[in-house]
Amino acid sequence: MYRKDRKEEYYTKKAKKEGYPARSVYKLKEIDETFGVIKEGDLVLDLGSAPGSWLSYISKKAGKVYGIDENETEIGGDNIVFIRKDINDESVLDMIRGLKFDSVVADLSPKTTGIRFLDSGLSLELSERAFFIAKKVLKEGGDFVCKIFESQESSDFIKSIGPSFKMIKRFRPKAVLRKSKEFYIVAKGFKKSKLTLGDCSESSFCVKVK
Ligand X SMILES: C[S@@+](CC[C@H](N)C(=O)[O-])C[C@H]1O[C@@H](n2cnc3c(N)ncnc32)[C@H](O)[C@@H]1O
DSSP-based three-state secondary structure for 64 = strand
32 sits near ligand X (criterion: CB under 6 A) = no
**Angle (CA) 156 33 53, round 5°:** 85
From residue 141 to residue 180, the character string flagging contacts with ligand X as x (rule: CB under 6 A) and all else as - is: ----------------------------------------
**Between 108 and 161, CB nearer to ligand X:** 108
DSSP-based three-state secondary structure for 157 = helix
67 sits near ligand X (criterion: CB under 6 A) = no
Task: Find the radius of gyration of the CA atoms of the chain.
Answer: 17
- What does the alpha-carbon distance between residue 94 and residue 194 come to, in Å, rounded to a whole number? 23
Q: What minimum distance in Å lies between the beta carbon of 15 and ligand X?
A: 9
Nearest residue to ligand X on Cβ basis: 48
Pure H helices in the chain: 6-18, 25-35, 53-61, 91-96, 116-137, 152-161
**Between 52 and 142, CB nearer to ligand X:** 52
- From the annotation, which residues make up the binding site? 52, 54, 69, 86, 107
7 is catalytic: no
Residues 81-140 that bind ligand X (CB under 6 A): 86-88, 107-109, 126
Q: What minimum distance in Å lies between the beta carbon of 126 and ligand X?
A: 6
- What does the alpha-carbon distance between residue 182 and residue 109 come to, in Å, rounded to a whole number? 9
Of 34-42, 50-58, 113-121, 158-166: span binding ligand X (CB under 6 A): 50-58
**Angle (CA) 171 11 62, round 5°:** 60
**Between 69 and 102, CB nearer to ligand X:** 69
- What does the alpha-carbon distance between residue 89 and residue 96 come to, in Å, rounded to a whole number? 12
Q: Which residues bind ligand X (CB under 6 A)?
A: 21-22, 24-25, 48-54, 69-71, 86-88, 107-109, 126
User: Which active-site residues does the annotation give?
Assistant: 147
